[in-house]
Structure 1
Amino acid sequence: MKAMPKKDLTSEQRVILDQVKQIAQALGETLAPFTEVVVHDLRSPQHAILAIHNNLSGRKVGDPATELGLARIADDDYPQVLANYANEFADGRRAKSTSIGIKDSGGHYFAALCLNVDVTAFRGMASILERFSAINGEAKESIDPANADRLRERIGQFAANLATTPRALRLDQRRELIASLKDEGYLEFRRSVDIAAQVLGVSRATVYNDIK
C-alpha cells in the first residue's frame, strides 16, 4: 500500500515550522552534548524527521515518526506536552525524553519537537557525589543488571569528567578509560566487553585491542 502524499504546508504552518527549527537549533547548541533535539513533520509519518541536533540515537533526517508522533496524527486531543518520561536508546543507554506537539490555528497536529537526554553521564556524576563508584575488586562469574549499570555509570562518569559523551571520546581518551576499567576490575565480568562496546559505540574487537 502506497503512502499518502503529504499536503503542502500552509503559509501559517510554514512560519510556525521555521520558528520550531530555529528553537531546535538553539536548544541543540545550548544543551550539547547530552541532549538530542529532533524536529518531526507529522504530515509525513514515514519520513518524519526534518532535523536532528546532537545525534545520540543514530537516526537520520527522513526516518519515520515515533509511536508518540503516530498517536498525535491519529488524535488532535492527544496531550500536547509529555515531559520527562523514561526512554531508551537503541544501544541500551537510558534517556529522559520530552515531546511537544505543534498545532496550527485549526488545532491540528502537524509537527513535533522532541528532546532526548542521555542520562548515563548524569547518573555517573550522581555516583561520584554519593560515593557509589567504589568497587571491591572481586571477580564475578557473570554480570547481573546491577553490575551492568555500574559499568555504564563508570563509563558515563569518565566521559562527563571530560565534558563529553562516551561515543565522542577520542582514541587516547577511550584507551585511558579501558585501561582504568581493566585496573578497577570492571572487565572481569562476563559480557562486560560487550556492554562497554555498546556504550562506546565501537566493536568488541576494538575494546579488546584497547585492552592490550
Structure 2
Amino acid sequence: MAKRTAEHRALLDQIQQIAEGIGATFAPFCEAVVHDLLDPEHAIISIHNNLSGREVGAPATELGLARISDPEYPQLIANYANHFADGRQAKSTSIGIKDAHGKYIAALCMNVDLTLFRGLQNVLGQFSSVEGAPLQESLDPTGADEIRERIDQFAARLATTPHALKSEDRRALIRELKESGCMEIRRAMAIVARHLGVSRATVYSDAK
C-alpha cells in the first residue's frame, strides 16, 4: 500500500461525502463506490446504495488498475455499458481523482441499474402506441400550435420562458397576437392562458 499524505486523506474523505450524497439522492437506482487506488488489493473503501453485492475491502477493478499504471488514462469515462454479477444490465460512470502531482489516488464510480428503467420504457412504449389506422385527429382547435409557437418565439426574444413573462411583456405579446390574427382563433384566450400559466381573467385583463 502506498503511503498516504494529508492531501490524499482529505481527498478521500471528500470523495466519500460526495458518494454518500449521490447514493442517497439516486437510491434505489444508483450505486456509488469509492476506490482507494493507493491500496489496489483492498481498493473499495465505501459503497453507498449497494446494488452490486460487493464489500468494502474488495480489490480494484481492471479500470482502476489501468489508472494506477497510466497517469494519462482518461479521467472521466461516462455512461459505458456494464452489468452486475447476477446479469442485470447497468450504465456506469467512472471518475478518476488525481492529487496535486497528477497521480491517480482514487476513483468515484456510479452504477445505475437499468432493469426498472427498461421495464418502464417497455410499458410506456406500449401505452403510448396508437393503431396504424389512417384517421388522424387533434383535440386542439385549428391554429393552436401557431399561437403557442408565437408565444415561445416572443419569450425567446426576451431570453425567458412563457411562464416567466411579466405583465408588461404579456401585454406586448397580446398586441402581437392580435396584429397577427391569432386572437381570432377559436378558444385563443384559453390557449394563451394555459401556455403562459396564468388565468384567462389575467389574459383578458392584459388584452384591454
Structure 1 runs of 4+ with >2 Å offset: none
**TM-score after normalising by structure 1:** 0.59
Aligned mates of 2:34, 2:63 — CA distance in 1: 13
**Residue in structure 2 matched with residue 98 of structure 1 by the alignment:** 93
- In the alignment, what sits opposite 2:139? none
Larger Rg over CA atoms: 2
Partner amino acid for 1:85?
Answer: Y
Alignment gaps of 5+ in structure 2? 128-208
| Residue 2 of structure 2 corresponds to residue 18 of structure 1 | no
Q: Which residue number corresponds to residue 51 of structure 1? A: 46
Report deviation, 1:12: 1.0
Among residues 83, 87, 96, which one is paired with 2:82 in the alignment? 87
- Aligned: 1:30 with 2:55: no
Rounded to whole Å, the distance in 2 between the matches of 1:45 and 1:13 is: 15
Which residue pairs with 2:56 in the alignment?
A: 61
2:22–2:32 CA contact under 8 A, matched in 1: yes
For 2:122 and 2:22, locate their aligned partners in 1 and report how far apart those are by CA, in whole Å: 27
Check conservation: 2:75, 2:95, Cα contact below 8 A.
yes
Structure-to-structure mapping, 1:100-139, within 5 angstroms:
100-131=95-126
CA distance in 2, matches of 1:15, 1:44: 16
Q: Secondary structure at the match of 1:130?
A: helix
Cα distance, 1:97 vs. partner? 0.1
Q: How many angstroms apart in 1 are the aligned matches of 2:60 and 2:7?
A: 22
> What per-residue deviation string (whole Å, max 9, x for no partner) do you get for residues 12-46 of structure 1?
11111111010000001001001010000011111
Give the Cα–Cα distance (whole angstroms) in 1 for the partners of residues 85 and 78 of structure 2.
20
> Could you say which residue in structure 2 is the equivalent of 1:139?
none
Question: Partner amino acid for 1:31?
Answer: F
Q: Is the 8 A contact 2:32 2:109 kept in 1?
A: yes
Question: How big is the shift at 1:8?
Answer: 2.8
Report the Cα distance in structure 2 between the residues aligned to 1:91 and 1:7, rounded to whole angstroms.
33
Q: What's the CA shift for 1:7?
A: 2.7
Letter in 2 for 1:56: L
Question: C-alpha root-mean-square deviation of aligned residues, in Å?
Answer: 1.6
